[in-house]
């Protein structure tokens, strides 16, 4: 079965008009005939414009030659059509193999994990990589013979989807099952951003500023959990940010900071570090003291340091603390079922280009032969 990888190559068929035009033009040139009985030829018979073609064989060979050239540009491929009754089931890793076997009634099918190398389902499940899922399915569609019935079992919710909807050249049985274990990859969006606030008890203003900051972030659509305690109370390990009124840190907190905790210090003393934000007058607002440790340029007190009320501060801080959330790449499996498209039909393909090139060379020889023979006859 021949298919073409670059169907737009057929546009070259427009060149078929060239030999036809050549043959028409050469036809129209009237030949000279000496004719003494001219007086008996009717003068009024006009030379009828006849769309008749000379040298039909030559023209046919030339047309065929151009059609083959267009086919060559369209990159012909040969696919052997496999047996019609073969079936293959691919199960995404993360799904229980027995549940998948129960869900799809295809006892004679080949069962594989949907993973690189397509290991058999009898083997233990390979590591799941949701970003590879669509790519693997597209590859399957290409590689499997066109007649093979393809079934795919995927988790109910797919993650790591790319921007292009799946479009396959065959009908696919698309079944979704709940995944056995929710991988870590799928969790973080659901977790709220934990903020711990530790202020000295003699600075109630600092606590309210910290609360105002978190309220501003909450208003921006971030799920926030606030843990406000006096200074010295240990913080939980899954906190994302610690807001401290002073610059003194105990050892436990420093250990957490090196472990992924962000710190925001209201530290009027330290004036070193890279300036991250300035106010309208060019005065520093926010500094980076070390990795994950940010320091305000003044105390957490709007009365003592009015620049704290700068409206761009909460957004800038949020940007630093929580980098932009990656685009949504997850969807229910049902909603991303593969579409049937006129994608190059499936199956392992062998390029036919050399054979076409050979045929073109042969035809060209024949064309030259016909053309020169005709010329030598004319002379």
Partner 1 sequence: MSSLIPPEVRARLKSLRISSRLTPNGQGLGLHTGRGRGAGLEFAQYRAYGQGDEPRQIDWKLYARSDRYFVRDATRDSPLSVWLVIDTSASMAQADPERPAYARIDAARIIAACIAERAVQQGDGVGLITVGGRSTQGLPAAPGARHRDRLLLLLAGLVADGRDGARASPPLLSAQIAADALVIVISDGFDDSLAESCERLAAARRDVRVIRVLTVGENAFGFQGSQRFIDPESGRERTLDAEAARSGFLDRFGAARREQLRRLARHGVTSVEYLLDEPADAPLHQLFAARGRGA
Interface positions with partner 1 (CB under 8 A): 27-28, 30-38, 40-43, 45-48, 50, 52
Least distance to partner 1, CB of residue 372, Å = 21
Least distance to partner 1, CB of residue 369, Å = 24
Tokens found for residue 260: 């992924």
What are phi and psi for residue 137, nearest 5 degrees?
Answer: -65, -40
What are phi and psi for residue 172, nearest 5 degrees?
Answer: -125, 135
Least distance to partner 1, CB of residue 377, Å = 12
What are phi and psi for residue 266, nearest 5 degrees?
Answer: -90, 90
CB 205 within 8 A of CB 302: yes
Least distance to partner 1, CB of residue 22, Å = 17
Q: Which is closer to partner 1, CB of 50 or CB of 259?
A: 50
Q: Which is closer to partner 1, CB of 41 or CB of 108?
A: 41
Least distance to partner 1, CB of residue 36, Å = 4
Least distance to partner 1, CB of residue 57, Å = 17
DSSP states of 81-134 as a string? ---TT-EEEEE-TTS-HHHHHHHS--TTSEEEESSTT--BTTSPPPPP-GGGHH
Q: How far apart are CA 147 and CA 86, in angstroms?
A: 7
Q: Which is closer to partner 1, CB of 98 or CB of 379?
A: 379
Tokens found for residue 258: 């090196």
Q: How far apart are CA 141 and CA 167, in angstroms?
A: 9
Q: Which is closer to partner 1, CB of 43 or CB of 303?
A: 43
Q: Which is closer to partner 1, CB of 31 or CB of 83?
A: 31
Q: What angle do CA 235, 240, 241 make, to 5 degrees?
A: 75
Sort strands 157-158 and 331-332 into parallel, antiparallel or unpaired.
antiparallel
The residues, any chain, with a CB within 8 Å of residue 350's CB and separated by 6 or more, are 77, 78, 79
3-state secondary structure of 222: coil
Q: Which is closer to partner 1, CB of 280 or CB of 378?
A: 378
Angle separating helix axes 313-321 and 204-219, nearest 10 degrees: 70
Least distance to partner 1, CB of residue 25, Å = 13
Tokens found for residue 136: 């693997």
Q: How far apart are CA 14 and CA 70, in angstroms?
A: 9
Least distance to partner 1, CB of residue 55, Å = 13
Closest CA to 125 of 159, 98, 160, 88: 98
- What size, in residues, is the chain? 379
Least distance to partner 1, CB of residue 338, Å = 60
């Amino acid at each position: 079965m021949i298919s073409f990888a670059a169907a737009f190559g057929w546009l070259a068929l427009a060149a078929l008009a060239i030999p036809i035009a050549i043959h028409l033009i050469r036809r129209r040139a009237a030949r000279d005939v000496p004719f003494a009985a001219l007086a008996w030829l009717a003068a009024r018979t006009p030379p009828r414009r006849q769309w008749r073609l000379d040298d039909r064989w030559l023209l046919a060979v030339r047309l065929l030659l151009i059609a083959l050239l267009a086919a060559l540009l369209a990159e012909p491929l040969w696919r052997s059509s496999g047996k019609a009754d073969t079936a293959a089931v691919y199960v995404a890793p993360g799904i229980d193999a027995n549940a998948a076997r129960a869900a799809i009634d295809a006892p004679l099918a080949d069962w594989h994990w949907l993973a690189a190398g397509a290991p058999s389902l009898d083997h233990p499940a390979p590591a799941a990589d949701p970003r590879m899922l669509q790519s693997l399915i597209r590859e399957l569609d290409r590689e499997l013979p066109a007649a093979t019935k393809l079934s795919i079992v995927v988790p109910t919710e797919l993650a790591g989807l790319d921007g292009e909807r799946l479009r396959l050249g065959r009908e696919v049985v698309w079944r979704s099952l709940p995944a056995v274990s929710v991988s870590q990859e799928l969790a973080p969006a659901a977790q709220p951003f934990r903020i711990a606030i530790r202020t000295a008890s003699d600075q109630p203003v600092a606590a309210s500023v910290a609360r105002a900051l978190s309220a501003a972030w909450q208003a921006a659509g971030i799920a926030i959990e606030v843990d406000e305690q006096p200074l010295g109370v240990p913080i939980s390990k899954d906190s994302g940010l610690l807001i401290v009124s002073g610059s003194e840190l105990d050892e436990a907190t420093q250990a957490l900071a090196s472990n992924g905790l962000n710190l925001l210090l209201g530290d009027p003393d330290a004036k070193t570090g890279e300036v991250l934000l300035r106010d309208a007058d060019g005065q520093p607002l926010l500094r980076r003291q070390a990795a994950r440790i940010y320091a305000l340029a003044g105390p957490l007190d709007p009365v003592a340091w009015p620049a704290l009320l700068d409206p761009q501060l909460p957004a800038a801080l949020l940007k630093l603390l929580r980098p932009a959330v990656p685009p949504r790449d997850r969807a229910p499996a049902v909603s991303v079922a593969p579409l049937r498209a006129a994608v190059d039909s499936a199956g392992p393909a062998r390029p036919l280009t050399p054979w076409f090139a050979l045929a073109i060379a042969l035809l060209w020889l024949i064309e030259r032969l016909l053309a020169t023979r005709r010329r030598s006859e004319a002379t």
